[in-house]
Structure 1
Amino acid sequence: MRRLVVAAAMVWLPVGVLGLTWAAWHGRLPERIATHWNGTGAADGFGSASWFWATLLVVGVAAGVAAAVAARTPGARFLLTAAGAVSGAAAGIWLATARATLANPAEARLGWRFLLVFAGLAWGFVVAAVAGPRPPAAPADVPLVDPLELKPTERVAYSSTLRSPVLLGVSLVAAAVVAVAAATTAPAVWPVLALPLAAALLFARVRVTADRRGLRLVAGLIGVPLKRIALADIDTAEPARIAPMEWGGWGYRVAPGRSALVLRSGPGLVLRLRDGRRFAVTLDEPEVPAALLTALRHRTPG
């Protein structure tokens, strides 16, 4: 845990670089500076120096906040890596632009300074090295649960709300990066901003319900149904340990013969459907909905 905290703190170092260099250079920079470069390294786009710096600072701070969240979330080293790369890239873009302007305010050329951007991106790998390797996964063998004892007419339901601060942080960082790119270099990518915002709205909070109708997943922030599986379509329901990469990664994943909502690594519910497909969702104490769905399935004729 200490390594994760140190790695998260390192994500803030590029933010400090942004602040220190602005304090040292803003008096020497012209009001408008080059913010975009063509293939030969010559400037072909210009903007306010203070606005450009402030935008990159916001990106760096957003990455730092996401890293702080990741440091408290087991298995979130990938987010620390991404946050370090985003924060470092923001500082690298600023350093490359400001240094090119200071070198020749009348006709700035990027030249070798574009390497500063790649150096900033590489900061993510430094953060990952400090965070250390992922801890070994717990054994995957999880015993099946016995079905609940239900009376023929008894009604019972299970409901739980899933929250994913990691996914929310990633979505916000991605939205900030897209916004910076659209505002500074490529206005055509503004529509892409809808993708990370939609991910935040759909998956940052999910309501999972199991009852006589089957299993349902609903986006908690906007109430949009994400998945419905009828009870009659369920063959078995069992707890399992979910490894994100075994299901295709984090988020809502779809692959031939299976799909999953993976918001973290750890315990989860796996449904085996009558048509041979599987569906998984990460849950705390998945034995409860597994036992309930098993009992309801046994009580249903056919």
Structure 2
Amino acid sequence: MEQKHGPSGPAEGETMTHDTTEPSGPARTRARLRGSGPWAALPFLLALAGYAVALALWWERLPDPVATHFSGVDGRADGWTSRTGTAVTGVVLLVVAGAVWTAFVRRPALAGAWATAGFLGALPALMLRANLDATGPDPATLPLGHLVAGAAVAGLAALAGWAVGRLVVEEERPGAPAPEGEPYERLPLGPGEVAGWSRHTGSAALTVLGAGLVLAGPVVLTAGWWPVAPLLVAVGAAGLGLARVRVTADRRGLTVAPAVTGRPRVRIPLDEIEGADARDVRAVAGFGGWGYRVRAHRTALVLRSGEALVVRRAGGREFAVTVPDARTAAALLNTLAARHGKV
């Protein structure tokens, strides 16, 4: 039987807040950009806009089918796709790659995001240009020099991403811990009383991203890019697996597991918990996106922005998971851990 108790604290209608204002000083005097996610998405949006413009301008000059695979140093065509299929594939690749980078990128990797966008934007455009005014698929060629040109565009984009990354500041902390010397909030339980807390929580962003990747697999496969298709499906399936989880706090400690499969799961026993509290987090600005995030001395499962349960482990490491009613779960874990002499 599961009991659920609310911790003592602010009256109804009040909320607990934590000051996450960054300190002022010389280090903050120059302009800064907030969060990696939007700046990882920007180059893919620009590449997508450029690809759409190229399609609009050259559509009537493209043969049907379009040469989409080339081999040899001279780049002779040996594979073709319908004109509509070519357009859809280019858009899907940019959208999927942009979504993945936006969801998982951190500031040091922004150069990689921009380089990827530069290459995926340049190469399809060069391929379309090679097909212009061809009377059939055979005359189209894509010499090796075009790949070099695509790599050069990627290099320039990487430099731009590196410059943008120098201006990005991220909130490494999901909130402020309990003030030093102030005890963690606890849930009142009698000496022989036991209690458990459990909630399902999900992520619309991970659901959409995972479903998009899974659906993109067959589309990319029909275009002849068979090595990419299984990767897209595998990554999408993993994202869907993490899109909805069950968070449980009980005598075993904290358990976070996928709601459908139950594996893989994260379990933190009570004897490893030094304290728990609830904090407010922002998925993009605070963690760079959604999913399982790894930071120095900190890991998190970020499914949305908002309330998160943060557990401080032995050695100072922290684990966070975004879940409603995190304050009750934190107070219960503190009470149960106190029985083990940890809090």
Deviations 1:140-159 (A, max 9, x none): 87235143321124343334
| Equivalent of residue 332 in structure 2, options 271, 274, 292 | 292
Please tell me the residue identity of whatever aligns with 1:270: V
Deviations 1:100-150 (A, max 9, x none): 222765432212222454325864764675574123545987235143321
SS at match of 2:89: helix
Q: TM-score, normalised by structure 1?
A: 0.68
Q: TM-score, normalised by structure 2?
A: 0.61
Aligned to 1:15: 48
Q: RMSD over aligned Cα, in angstroms?
A: 4.9
Question: Residue 84 and residue 173 in structure 1: after superposition, are their counterparts in 2 closer, same or farther (change >3 A)?
Answer: farther
Please tell me the residue identity of whatever aligns with 2:68: T
Aligned to 1:212: 251
Aligned to 2:76: 42
Where relative contact order (Cα < 8 A, 6+ residues apart) is larger, the structure is 2
Q: Distance in 2 between matches of 1:108 and 1:280?
A: 54
Preserved contact between residue 59 and residue 86 of structure 1 (Cα < 8 Å): no
Q: Distance in 2 between matches of 1:121 and 1:169?
A: 31
What aligned pairs does 1:223-262 form with structure 2 within 5 A after superposition?
224-227=262-265, 229=267, 234=272, 236-239=274-277, 251-252=291-292, 260-262=299-301
Please tell me the residue identity of whatever aligns with 1:224: G
Aligned length: 289
Q: Distance in 2 between matches of 1:238 and 1:56?
A: 46
| Equivalent of residue 107 in structure 1, options 139, 161, 166 | 139
Q: Distance in 2 between matches of 1:60 and 1:187?
A: 17
Please tell me the residue identity of whatever aligns with 2:256: L
Q: Structure 2: 5+ residue runs without aligned partners?
A: 1-31, 284-288
SS at match of 1:270: strand
Q: Structure 1: 5+ residue runs without aligned partners?
A: none
Aligned to 2:8: none
Aligned to 1:184: 223
Stretch deviating more after TM superposition (193-202 or 128-137) = 128-137
Question: Residue 197 and residue 116 in structure 1: after superposition, are their counterparts in 2 closer, same or farther (change >3 A)?
Answer: same
| Cα displacement (A) at 1:300 | 6.3
Asked if 1:282 is matched to 2:321, the reply is yes
Preserved contact between residue 7 and residue 128 of structure 1 (Cα < 8 Å): no
Question: Residue 123 and residue 182 in structure 1: after superposition, are their counterparts in 2 closer, same or farther (change >3 A)?
Answer: farther
Identity %: 30
Asked if 1:269 is matched to 2:310, the reply is yes
Question: Residue 135 and residue 217 in structure 1: after superposition, are their counterparts in 2 closer, same or farther (change >3 A)?
Answer: closer
